[in-house]
Structures are given as structure tokens and as C-alpha cells.
């Protein structure tokens, strides 16, 4: 009786792309966004490692920092629900969802 070779695990199965917490698109790479900006958290005596974060795609992350100051983010938009409730964010996310995840998106 011949021995069977174990089934190969190569190539590994493709991994699912991570999902942006704001626009919910599957993108190849995410960045860490501090919901309470680091500068504001340090002023409150918090360690950077204790600050709440969300994983965002590059365009969403850039949009937030171009739209809001760190003070605004700290005071009014400390969670994803508050960010999603802002009219400009809603408009941007609605448009961004129509763009392919592999396309480079310029944020003004």
C-alpha cells in the first residue's frame, strides 16, 4: 500500500482585504487613526497607547485631518458614530464608495 503525500498548503489561500472602519471598503492597507488625537490626549494626561483608535483607509484618514482640526476631533468627533453623522463626511464616504479600492484618490 502506497503512502499518500499530505496535501500541499502552498500557495496559501488569499487573505481577505481589511475593511475601513469609516467607508467600509475592503482595501489593501489601513492606517491607524487616533479618535482622540495624540496631542489632545497628552494634554489630558493620557498615554498614547491608551487612546482609542480606528483603522481607516488612506483617503478617509486624509479627509478627516484636512476637514477637522485636532481640537474639533477631540471635542466633537471622538467616535465613529459622530464622524459618520457629519454631513461632509457622509458626502465624502458616499462618493468614495463608488471608487475602486485600488485607485489612488486625491483628497483636497
Output the pLDDT for position 43: 82
Output the pLDDT for position 59: 94
pTM across the whole model: 0.79
Output the pLDDT for position 1: 63
Residue 96: all three cell numbers together: 468614495
The per-residue DSSP string of 43-102 comes to HTT--GGGS-EEEE-HHHHHHHHHHS-HHHHHHH--SHHHHHHSHHHHHHHHHHTTS-TT
Q: What are the pLDDT digits (tens) for 35-56?
A: 988 888 888 888 888 888 999 9
pLDDT at 7 over 90: no
The whole-angstrom separation of Cα 91 and Cα 88 is: 5
Residue 60: other Cβ atoms inside 10 A: 28
Domain ranges of the chain: 30-98
SS3 category, 40:
helix
Amino acid at each position: 500500500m502506497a503512502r499518500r503525500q499530505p496535501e500541499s498548503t502552498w500557495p496559501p489561500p488569499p487573505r481577505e482585504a481589511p475593511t475601513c472602519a469609516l467607508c467600509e471598503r475592503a482595501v489593501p492597507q489601513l492606517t491607524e487613526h487616533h479618535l482622540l488625537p495624540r496631542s489632545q490626549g497628552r494634554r489630558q494626561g493620557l498615554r498614547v497607547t491608551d487612546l482609542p483608535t480606528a483603522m481607516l483607509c488612506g483617503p478617509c484618514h486624509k479627509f478627516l485631518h484636512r476637514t477637522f482640526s485636532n481640537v474639533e476631533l477631540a471635542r466633537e468627533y471622538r467616535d465613529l458614530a459622530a464622524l459618520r453623522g457629519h454631513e461632509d463626511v457622509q458626502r465624502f464616504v458616499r462618493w468614495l464608495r463608488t471608487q475602486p479600492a485600488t485607485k489612488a484618490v486625491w483628497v483636497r
